[in-house]
Amino acid sequence: MTAVLTRRSKYILHEPAPCDAEFAYLLNGAAAAPDHGNLRPWRWILLRGTDREALGACLATEAPPEQQERIAQKALRAPLMAGLVFCPTPGHRIPEWEQMAAASSMAYGLMLLLHSRGYGSIWRTGRLCESRAAHDLLGLAPTEQLLGSLDIGTPDASETPARRRPGNVSDRVSTFASRPVPAAA
């Protein structure tokens, strides 16, 4: 409960980030998320160091000249950039929207596990998801979609610790009360 109520997006992230083995360990836990059909309709692409620079340069080529440097730098905001690729199984009895829900649930579980280990993360979308050049650079198949990326690292020590999220959500819940069905005439 503490991880769920205190996790927040972290904008300033430093080394260390989880190594590949630790990422895989946490992903094994996150993969326990609901996944009707056990399709695992997702995969991750991990980018570190110069790989982030290459992605930033790729994204910059599609931006207006005055924005290219700023766009290129965005890929360097965290020591680990983990791209989430949606890999649906077309025509499967499990509809695509449910496969997307499985990928989303797994990603949130991963964010909670990262937080519980002391790492920070922030979900990023935007230009990265829409870029044909990034799609090609990362080797996505035509049926795959880049949903976004998690920037991952150690939160800045100067950040104040997250407080529990306040709020009552009881207004978002209702109880169904069935009514008798009228008899057919």
Q: 3-state secondary structure string, 124-139?
A: ECCHHHHCHHHHHHCC
Q: Mean pLDDT per segment of 10 residues, for the chain of length 185 residues?
A: 90 97 98 96 98 97 95 97 97 97 98 97 94 96 97 89 75 91 83
For the four alpha carbons of 141, 108, 128 and 117, in that order, the dihedral sign comes to: negative
Contact 17, 119 (CB under 8 A): yes
Name the E strands within 30-144. 42-47, 80-86, 120-124
* Domain with residues 25-156, CATH architecture: 3-Layer(aba) Sandwich (3.40)
Instruction: Characterize the bridge pairing of strands 145-155 and 120-124.
Output: antiparallel
Residue 111 is predicted with a pLDDT of: 98
Distance separating alpha carbons of residues 42 and 54, to the nearest angstrom: 23
